[in-house]
A and B are shown apart, each in its own frame.
Chain A
Amino acid sequence: QKEVEQNSGPLSVPEGAIASLNCTYSDRGSQSFFWYRQYSGKSPELIMSIYSNGDKEDGRFTAQLNKASQYVSLLIRDSQPSDSATYLCAAQARGGADGLTFGKGTHLIIQP
């Protein structure tokens, strides 16, 4: 059974600080990893993808992948109140025809 585990939170971070979100995955066959942001009542929105070990930066977001430890993380620098949302970590096997395995999400609250 493929699983992606996340701490459900809530994770409370002061405005301007760095928010650190983590997840682990069970399937060593997973090739691709994604972070989605989901606002309450809305559908998930892709914010980062990462395919190889190391860091990938996009604006205020940095995704980190360690395949040996089966660990994925997302850092949000200079956190803003608009970053308050649920963040979903997802893993994908090669090809992706059978979809993504999602974690249950971490609820992030940025305190003004």
Chain B
Amino acid sequence: KAGVTQTPRYLIKTRGQQVTLSCSPISGHRSVSWYQQTPGQGLQFLFEYFSETQRNKGNFPGRFSGRQFSNSRSEMNVSTLELGDSALYLCASSLGIQGNTIYFGEGSWLTVV
């Protein structure tokens, strides 16, 4: 079955702009979480959604937001982009019960110039 799908794979934005990234989880998975990966900070948790509700949120500013739709697909948005937001944004999905395996997509590479 298809894995976690993220779009777009690559994008370049200008400082001050906003960006929306999309994630389609594995079929049947109801939990979607987002992570930011940078060389300096490694993999950091952004937020997690289950059945359209945010259950956990990481330590990121309010410019980072997300949502989940009734079909479990998720989007994350970053407003007023800063150079430091350049990163690989990873989406992961699972069945949503603690201890369930969490699978990652290939990520969206965001470059802010």
The reply to whether chain A is a binding partner of chain B is no
